[in-house]
Structure 1
């Protein structure tokens, strides 16, 4: 035998390693692939079917589907379509960062298993601040039509272009961070569940917040799987630290969603979100040390559409609020101003403030002219970013200014409020160092 023939098996092995056959492949949930553990396969198939039922609902119940999918994935971790669905569920959760590993694995197993995989993977990379890799995936993604069987919305060419712009903006902002000390408010305020929408008294002695932690008044889990129904909590400043947040109880909290919205400058009037009529804003008054039962602020503010957040002007004359009402609306949710003692309708703040995308979490600074709000438009780096705009003597708003990195992140940064001193601000964000889901910083 010629000496060279001794190398043939080795060469054949090297060529085999370079072929698709040697790469990880997607494994279906079939009897042919799992001939030994038939009982385990049946249980996994059942979990997969239960997950698919929730996933295909209208609207899709991603939070309810996720635990079923995770149990099925524990039996068979190498199914590309399942990993993609788990990743998509996480992208619709408050722990979006968990999506990346599953979507990358799906792509490794079978990049064709999910038509939206490039887009979903791009979203996960975007949310983790991997700007260049996210741009690459967005550029490979294709527009996706809306799914009539679920709440999936269309991903248009304009959407993809907007995402790429957000990534470029994120690169720019991260390269020039603002000088700020950013601290998690800590376990006395934040819980393993979502905590958000802080309100601070003018002297910064009282912090009100919304939480989905265990112990809610109604004791009910949210149908979308995001913890308990919302309740309002209060934390008091002890002089050195924030005291443990306590549930305000009735009459502020009910068996439904109850969330913090706004607090008057004197701390005597509390705006509360109620899920009535698709979302209305109510007002409670402080009577001694007790809050009154919240009451609707009337039809000039509340409509059959959603009114989600609001704030008083420092002088109490105006109410700034967010609504998705169609009157003069530029995007999904816009910011409006209502003169409380007048009879005129609320006015849309116009195209300088309101973008073609959603606005949320409005707050007027104690100076009476600086408006802080969150937007998915303008020059956001992704999700809601916090912006500020100043009202001049002519009643004109300045071009909104992004508060920058690290205050803003690729995920939602919203519900920004500031104490009268101007030294401390509080807002909600989903940061890697969080106590759980959304946290207050």
Structure 2
């Protein structure tokens, strides 16, 4: 029960891993024919450490060694879902069912998630409903998660019925790798883009199983992004160093250091940047604050925070710069923007007074979707989903817009990318 409580607490934040962790816990408690092999036990350890790539290789080896093992196929399928590989997940889960029909009842949630990721919303809803009926005595939080997933599938059906007329494409191998590449930040002239990556670097220590966060830069030449390179190598001494915003006029660089908070660097006349300085209040006051956007005039800072007094999870706040150069007390953007779930990754188009952000609430079709809201007479409009194909059933975040508003970039872990997270280009017609 203690482990299940930990799982449901994570579900409350709307993370897919939480529900599947429950399926994995149930799976581990089952008595499998022939017992659990040493290879599977080693894979289990990697899974529990959330090193899913390592777990995938080990489970795949276990299936190759014992193709008739329902346990190996079961766990391989769950791992594929964690890595947003739904087609492979459904194949492995079906093999587990074919080998042992009794496991199907334990696979309702992974089957639902796999179909959800593939936008098979009708099938996903049916599996979620079955799971909901089969688990009436489980914690209220788990029941809430299932209700939310069903609502996401309904939203997905509605949004895909009237797709937006946008062209969405992967930006390609000059930027994306087999690892996570995310948080695209355009420089003011749109001729360079900063982004964060988690590629392995033996010289830098990571805080988890993935590579340490580092910032890279790519430059536009003749309409194409060029091969990226490390940005400001002298600032790469700390692990988990991510870009969040550039402003005003490209002279201030805002970054995030894991466990250390939001920082700012200033561009010198020589073109070099100062060492990162910790932002003062109202930022970095003991809460989780992973994203920040400063308007190009430097007057307003929009940021995400899970500080007390919000609507739940991460909320979006705004602060304005006072005459003495300090930042004002943060103001919550209110219920038209914030929900009981997470809101993150703000971007503001000051020319149209439009806020773009990502949310796990509102009418998301799954994970984070990108929304927009406009301000008029100090009031934010009801958040509007940007629709499909900008959004997917996976996590879609970090919307950024070119200066001529013809092109936007996002990061997404939708199926079919080069790595765990990729950067995508949106062309507006």
> Does the alignment pair 1:122 with 2:107?
no
Which of 143, 151, 160 is matched with 1:165 structurally?
151
CA contact (8 A) 1:301 1:338 kept: no
Change (3 A) 1:97 1:358: farther
Q: Distance in 2 between matches of 1:115 and 1:188?
A: 44
> CA RMSD, aligned part only?
2.7
> Does the alignment pair 1:223 with 2:205?
no
Q: Which residue of 1 aligns with 2:288?
A: 306
**DSSP-derived class of the 1:305 partner:** coil
> Does the alignment pair 1:388 with 2:372?
yes
Q: Which residue of 1 aligns with 2:76?
A: 86
**DSSP-derived class of the 1:291 partner:** coil
The 5 Å alignment of 1:354-365 reads 354-365=338-349
Give 1 or 2 for the bigger CA radius of gyration: 1
Instruction: Quote the offset at 1:291 in angstroms.
Output: 2.2
Q: Distance in 1 between matches of 2:53 and 2:419?
A: 16
CA contact (8 A) 2:207 2:239 kept: no
CA contact (8 A) 2:281 2:327 kept: no
Q: Which residue of 1 aligns with 2:187?
A: 201
The 5 Å alignment of 1:308-387 reads 308-325=290-307, 327-341=308-322, 344-367=328-351, 369-387=353-371
Deviations 1:324-371 (A, max 9, x none): 22x222121111112233564212111110111111211111426100
Deviations 1:6-34 (A, max 9, x none): xxxxxxxxxxxxxxxxxxxx995639xxx
Q: Distance in 1 between matches of 2:248 and 2:352?
A: 11
Q: Which residue of 2 aligns with 1:68?
A: 58
Deviations 1:155-211 (A, max 9, x none): 622211111111111111112111112121111111121111000123211100011
Instruction: Quote the offset at 1:253 in angstroms.
Output: 2.0
Which of 414, 420, 424 is matched with 1:437 structurally?
420
Structure 2: runs of 5 or more not aligned = 1-29, 425-429
Structure 1: runs of 5 or more not aligned = 1-25, 32-43, 148-152
Q: Which residue of 1 aligns with 2:278?
A: 296
Deviations 1:293-329 (A, max 9, x none): 111112420122211011012321111111122x222
CA contact (8 A) 1:218 1:256 kept: no
Which of 211, 219, 238 is matched with 2:197 structurally?
211
Q: Distance in 2 between matches of 1:273 and 1:245?
A: 20
Deviations 1:234-276 (A, max 9, x none): 0111132111111114333224011111111401111111013
Q: Which residue of 1 aligns with 2:405?
A: 422
Q: Which residue of 2 aligns with 1:253?
A: 236
Change (3 A) 1:207 1:382: same
